[in-house]
Chain A
């Protein structure tokens, strides 16, 4: 079966750095997304990786290793507004999007 694993919940301090990991076992791979979802709101796009390596976008970076079935989202200079759930999603060989359950990130002052 297809599976995406993310930690259920993480806690970090304002101003710090946090890394949210995602491992996947899917039938094929055609890319990986990270989305942010604030409580009670819709998911919004953060990043897309299809090649190995690090993609940096401001305070957020996303890393992919296809050989290891692994990605992480790195958030720097954490702000209170970064408190949200972070969803990892993989495009499989049929171009279907498989979603992880999400990681709830709690930022403390």
Chain B
């Protein structure tokens, strides 16, 4: 079934630990995105990639890094987790990145708690 998968579904992490959230899509979409969603706030873009091999910073990139070695995978790494990174993380993809006018398809999300 075509779509986006994320792993893990949820995670409790000690502060200071390193963590990588995985995201894979099989729709051959060019663009991929990482968002965080916090109660009372809209989705906030962390990092994005318009095509394999390129990445860019979103609204809230500090403390996060990404890579895009191929079309399908877009992992998000927290180098040293802090409690303020407790959130629900959504990965998304769209057919075209630079135009920004294509709908985005979202993965099921990863619920991360940093203690």
Residues of A that sit less than 8 Å from B by CB: 4, 8, 30-31, 33, 41-45, 48, 50, 87, 89, 91, 95-102
Tell me whether A48 and B42 are in contact (CB under 8 A): no
Closest to B101 in A: A31
Q: Which residues on the B side are within 8 Å of A97 (C-beta)?
A: 45, 100, 104
Q: Classify chain B's interface size.
A: 10 to 19
A-B contact pairs, 17 of them (CB 8 A): A8-B40, A30-B101, A31-B100, A33-B103, A41-B109, A42-B90, A42-B106, A45-B103, A45-B104, A45-B105, A50-B101, A89-B43, A95-B101, A99-B42, A99-B44, A101-B41, A101-B42
Q: Which residues on the A side are within 8 Å of B104 (C-beta)?
A: 45, 97
Number of A-B contacts (CB under 8 A): 49
Within 8 A of A (CB), among B1-46: 40-45
Query: With A31-B101, A42-B108, A50-B101 in contact, do A87 and B45 touch (Cβ < 8 Å)?
Result: no
